[in-house]
Structure 1
Amino acid sequence: GLIRNYCRNPDPVAAPYCYTTDPNVRWEYCNLTRCSDAEGTAVAPPTATPLPSLEAPSEQAPTEQRSGVQECYHGNGQSYRGTYFISVTGRTCQAWSSMTPHSHSRTPKYYPNA
């Protein structure tokens, strides 16, 4: 679910995202790649229309998590349950239960299965 500040996709949009801790940047997609069905190679997520009333996302680029293990998601990432919490531009994700610096309605209470 929407725990801590981990990347998730409760809406769904093109890929896992998060609200950022930067007061000037409301949300961004997370720095994750989509898992390929062929031999574990990763591909960039599809381009999609951003959420209503949210800023446009940045380009995605594959990266590895601090442990050196690359995380990826399937499809649009609605089932992603990893612990990655960094946006495509390197910003730390805001906790889903927090309303600071960005107030939002995507909380664990309203999206228990996200």
Structure 2
Amino acid sequence: NTVWEYCDIKVCETPRKSTVVGTSECYEGRGAGYRGTVDMTPSGIMCQRWDSQYPHNHTFSPQAYPCKDLKENYCRNPDGQESP
């Protein structure tokens, strides 16, 4: 029973020269600025909603981390793990 997996988002091929922090088509570094709508893992598992504690409990609620854009069940990296 897998507790979590990384998201199926491609890594940006070249660094952006923009001052915009967020990206929506790919992620850079650890993906903290990713703001796209990918909501599935590479193995096809739908991601859990950020405002839900089911099926897994977590500490990242949209209310507690408004600057992390924790919307729907979109892939995010609010704590700077290896990747989103």
1:97 is aligned to 51
- Indicate yes or no: 2:55 matched with 1:112: no
2:12 is aligned to 35
1:41 is aligned to none
Work out which structure has the larger RCO, using CA pairs closer than 8 Å and 6 or more positions apart in sequence.
Answer: 1
Please report the RMSD computed on the Cα atoms of aligned residues, expressed in angstroms. 1.4
- Supply the distance in 1 between the matched residues of 2:12 and 2:41 (Cα, whole angstroms): 18
After TM superposition, where is structure 1 displaced by more than 6 Å over at least 4 residues in a row? none
Paired letter, 2:48: Q
| Gaps in structure 1 of 5+ consecutive residues | 1-23, 39-70
Q: Percent identity?
A: 44
Q: How does 1:47-86 map to 2 (within 5 A)?
A: 71-86=25-40
| Gaps in structure 2 of 5+ consecutive residues | 16-24, 69-84
Q: Deviations over 1:73-108 (max 9, x none)?
A: 122111110001001211000100000111110111
Higher percent of residues as strand:
1
- Supply the distance in 2 between the matched residues of 1:79 and 1:109 (Cα, whole angstroms): 18
Report SS of the residue matched to 2:11.
strand
Instruction: Give the TM-score taking structure 1 as reference length.
Output: 0.48
- Supply the distance in 1 between the matched residues of 2:3 and 2:47 (Cα, whole angstroms): 10
